[in-house]
Amino acid sequence: MVNEDPNPVERDDNPAQESALQKDPSFSAAPSVSVHPSVSVHPSVSVHPNVSIQPSTSAHPSSSAQPSGLTHPSSSGPEDLGVIKVSRRRWLVVLVFSCYSMCNAFQWIQYGSINNIFMNFYGVSTFAIDWLSMCYMLTYIPLLLPVAWLLEKFGLRTIALTGSALNCLGAWVKLGSLQPHLFPVTVVGQVICSVAQVFILGMPSRIASVWFGADEVSTACSVAVFGNQLGIAIGFLVPPVLVPNIKDQEKLAYHISIMFYIIGGVATLLFILVVIVFKEKPKHAPSRAQSLSYALSSPDASYLSSIVRLFKNLNFVLLVITYGLNAGAFYALSTLLNRMVISHFPGEEVNAGRIGLTIVIAGMLGAMLSGIWLDKSKTYKETTLVVYIMTLVGMVIYTFTLNLGHLWIVFVTAGVMGFFMTGYLPLGFEFAAELTYPESEGVSSGLLNVSAQVFGIIFTISQGQIIDNYGTLPGNIFLCVFLTLGAALTAFIRADLRRQKANKETPETKVQEEEESNISKAPTIMSEAHL
Cα 177 to Cα 338: distance, rounded to the nearest angstrom: 22
- Indicate if the alpha-carbon torsion angle 118, 121, 127, 128 is positive or negative: negative
The pLDDT assigned to 294 comes to: 58
Nearest alpha-carbon partner for 115 in 106, 105, 134, 128: 128
Distances (CA, A) of 185 to 136, 146, 174, 280: 16, 26, 7, 35
Cα 428 to Cα 111: distance, rounded to the nearest angstrom: 27
Residue 343 backbone phi and psi in degrees, to 5: -65, -30
| Cβ-proximal residues to 333 (8 Å cutoff; 6+ apart), any chain | 359, 421, 479
C-beta of residue 382 within 8 angstroms of C-beta of residue 491: no
Nearest alpha-carbon partner for 115 in 101, 131, 135: 131
C-beta of residue 447 within 8 angstroms of C-beta of residue 310: yes
Residue 82 backbone phi and psi in degrees, to 5: -80, -10
Q: How many CB atoms lie within 10 A of CB 426?
A: 29
In angstroms, the first-to-last Cα distance of the chain is 20
Distances (CA, A) of 47 to 21, 30, 82, 295, 355: 13, 13, 9, 15, 58
The pLDDT assigned to 89 comes to: 75
Cα 206 to Cα 499: distance, rounded to the nearest angstrom: 13
Cα 161 to Cα 156: distance, rounded to the nearest angstrom: 9
C-beta of residue 98 within 8 angstroms of C-beta of residue 160: no
The DSSP code sequence of 352-404 is HHHHHHHHHHHHHHHHHHHHHHHHHH--HHHHHHHHHHHHHHHHHHHHHHGGG
| Cβ-proximal residues to 27 (8 Å cutoff; 6+ apart), any chain | 21
The pLDDT assigned to 322 comes to: 93
| Cβ-proximal residues to 336 (8 Å cutoff; 6+ apart), any chain | 112, 130, 460, 463, 464, 467, 475
Per-residue pLDDT of the chain (531 residues; tens, 9 = 90+): 444 444 333 333 443 444 443 444 444 434 443 334 333 333 333 334 344 434 433 334 433 333 333 333 334 445 555 567 767 778 888 899 989 999 999 999 889 888 888 998 999 988 888 889 889 888 988 888 888 788 878 888 889 999 999 999 999 999 999 998 999 999 999 999 999 998 988 788 778 878 887 777 777 877 887 788 888 888 888 898 899 888 888 899 999 999 999 999 999 999 999 999 888 777 767 666 666 665 655 544 556 777 888 888 898 999 999 999 999 998 898 888 888 888 888 877 788 888 888 888 888 888 778 778 877 878 888 888 999 999 999 999 999 988 887 888 889 999 999 899 887 877 887 888 888 887 776 678 778 888 988 999 899 889 988 988 888 899 899 999 999 999 999 999 887 777 777 766 644 433 333 333 333 334 433 333 433
Nearest alpha-carbon partner for 12 in 39, 51, 50, 44: 39
| Cβ-proximal residues to 516 (8 Å cutoff; 6+ apart), any chain | 524, 526
Helix (H) or strand (E) holding 324: helix 314-344
Cα 38 to Cα 13: distance, rounded to the nearest angstrom: 10
Helix (H) or strand (E) holding 84: strand 80-84
| Cβ-proximal residues to 457 (8 Å cutoff; 6+ apart), any chain | 134, 137, 138, 328
HSE at residue 506, side-chain half, CA atoms within 13 A, is 23
User: Is beta strand 284-285 parallel, antiparallel or unpaired with respect to 80-84?
Assistant: parallel
Nearest alpha-carbon partner for 54 in 78, 35, 77, 79: 35
Nearest alpha-carbon partner for 340 in 115, 106, 107: 115
| Cβ-proximal residues to 5 (8 Å cutoff; 6+ apart), any chain | 527
The pLDDT assigned to 48 comes to: 42
Q: What is the CA radius of gyration of the chain?
A: 25
Cis peptide before 438 (omega within 30 of 0): yes
Indicate the DSSP class of residue 82. Answer: E
Would you give the distance in Å from CA 428 to the centre of its chain? Answer: 8
Nearest alpha-carbon partner for 221 in 231, 237, 210: 210
Nearest alpha-carbon partner for 531 in 4, 65, 17, 69: 4
